[in-house]
Chain A
Amino acid sequence: MSGMNENKQRAGFTGRRMSLARMRAGQRGKIVRMSSSYGIVRKLEALGIRQGEEIKKISEQWMRGPVLLQHGNSQVAIGFGMASKVLVEITGEEQQ
Chain B
Amino acid sequence: MRILLMGNPNVGKSAVFSRLTGANVIVSNYAGTTVEFTKGSVKIAGQHIELVDVPGTYTLEPTNKAEQIAVEMLEACKNDDIVVNIVDATNLERNLNLTLQLLQKQVRIIVALNFWDETKHKGITINLEKLEDILKVPCVPTCAVTGQGVKDLVERIKEAKPSSFKYDEQEKWHEIGNIVDKVQTITHRHHTFLEVLADASVKPLTGLPIAIVSLFLSFKLIQLIGEGLKGYVFEPVFKNLWSPLMLKLSFLLSSRGLIHDLIIGHLVEGQIDYGQSFGLLTTGLFVPLGIVLPYVFAFYVVLSFLEDFGYLPRLAIMADTLMHRLGLHGLAIIPMLLGLGCNVPGVLSTRILETRRERFIAVTILAIGVPCAALQAMIVGLVGKHGIVNLGIVYGTLLVVWFVLGVLLNWIIKERSPEIFIEIPPYRIPYLGSLSKKIYMRIKWFIREAVPFVLLGVLLVNVLYTLGIIQAVGKIAAPVITRILGLPREAVGALIIGFLRKDVAVGMLIPLGLTTKQLIIASVVLTMYFPCVATFTTLVKELGFVDMLKSAGIMLLSSLIVGGLLNLILA
Most buried by B among A25, A47, A63, A64: A47
A47: which B residues are within 8 A, CB to CB?
Answer: 58, 94, 97, 423
Which of A25, A74, A81, A82 is the one whose CB lies under 8 Å from B203? A25
| CB <8 Å contact, A42 and B63 | yes
- Within B308-325, the residues touching A (CB, 8 Å) are 313, 316-318, 320-321
Decide if B424 is an interface residue (CB 8 Å cutoff). yes
Decide if B422 is an interface residue (CB 8 Å cutoff). yes
B422: which A residues are within 8 A, CB to CB?
Answer: 76-77
Which of B93, B124, B317 is the one whose CB lies under 8 Å from A66? B317
A71: which B residues are within 8 A, CB to CB?
Answer: 94
Which of A42, A50, A73, A78 is the one whose CB lies under 8 Å from B419? A78
B247: which A residues are within 8 A, CB to CB?
Answer: none
- Within A31-72, the residues touching B (CB, 8 Å) are 39-40, 42-43, 46-48, 50, 58-66, 68, 71-72
Q: Which chain A residue lies CB-closest to B59?
A: A46
Decide if B330 is an interface residue (CB 8 Å cutoff). yes
A25: which B residues are within 8 A, CB to CB?
Answer: 203
Cα A68 to Cα B421 in complex, Å, equals 10
| CB <8 Å contact, A68 and B93 | no
* Chain B, interface residues (CB within 8 Å), range: 20 to 34
| CB <8 Å contact, A79 and B97 | no
| CB <8 Å contact, A81 and B419 | yes
B61: which A residues are within 8 A, CB to CB?
Answer: 42, 46
Contact A79:B423 (CB < 8 A) given known A58-B202, A59-B199, A65-B317? no
B563: which A residues are within 8 A, CB to CB?
Answer: none
Which of A46, A72, A82 is the one whose CB lies under 8 Å from B58? A46
Decide if A14 is an interface residue (CB 8 Å cutoff). no
Interface of A is mostly: mixed
Contact A78:B91 (CB < 8 A) given known A64-B321, A66-B330? no
Decide if B349 is an interface residue (CB 8 Å cutoff). no
| CB <8 Å contact, A66 and B94 | no
Q: How far is the CB of A84 from chain B (nearest CB, A)?
A: 11
| CB <8 Å contact, B199 and A76 | no
Q: How far is the CB of A74 from chain B (nearest CB, A)?
A: 5
Which of B97, B173, B318 is the one whose CB lies under 8 Å from A61? B318
| CB <8 Å contact, A40 and B320 | no
B313: which A residues are within 8 A, CB to CB?
Answer: 77
Decide if B231 is an interface residue (CB 8 Å cutoff). no
Decide if A9 is an interface residue (CB 8 Å cutoff). no
Decide if B204 is an interface residue (CB 8 Å cutoff). yes
| CB <8 Å contact, B91 and A72 | yes
B122: which A residues are within 8 A, CB to CB?
Answer: 73
Most buried by A among B58, B203, B316, B421: B421
Q: Which chain A residue lies CB-closest to B90?
A: A73
Decide if B329 is an interface residue (CB 8 Å cutoff). yes
Which of A58, A61, A62, A79 is the one whose CB lies under 8 Å from B421? A79
| CB <8 Å contact, B321 and A77 | no
A82: which B residues are within 8 A, CB to CB?
Answer: 419, 421
Q: How far is the CB of A51 from chain B (nearest CB, A)?
A: 10
| CB <8 Å contact, A63 and B321 | yes
Which of B63, B93, B203 is the one whose CB lies under 8 Å from A39? B63
Which of B58, B93, B202, B316 is the one whose CB lies under 8 Å from A59? B202
Cα A68 to Cα B422 in complex, Å, equals 9
Cα A62 to Cα B421 in complex, Å, equals 17
- 25 inter-chain pairs at a CB distance below 8 angstroms, sorted by A residue, are A39-B63, A46-B58, A46-B59, A46-B61, A47-B94, A47-B97, A48-B173, A59-B204, A61-B204, A61-B321, A64-B321, A65-B321, A66-B317, A71-B94, A72-B91, A72-B93, A73-B122, A73-B124, A76-B424, A77-B202, A77-B330, A77-B420, A77-B421, A77-B422, A79-B421
List 9 additional contacts besides A46-B97, A61-B321, A77-B202; criterion CB under 8 Å: A39-B63, A48-B97, A59-B202, A59-B204, A59-B207, A65-B317, A66-B317, A75-B423, A80-B419
Residues of B within 8 A of A (CB): 58-59, 61, 63, 90-91, 93-94, 97, 122, 124, 173, 176, 199, 202-204, 207, 313, 316-318, 320-321, 329-330, 418-424, 426
Which 5 A-B pairs rank lowest in CB-CB distance, beginning with the nearest? A79-B419, A46-B58, A46-B59, A75-B424, A48-B94
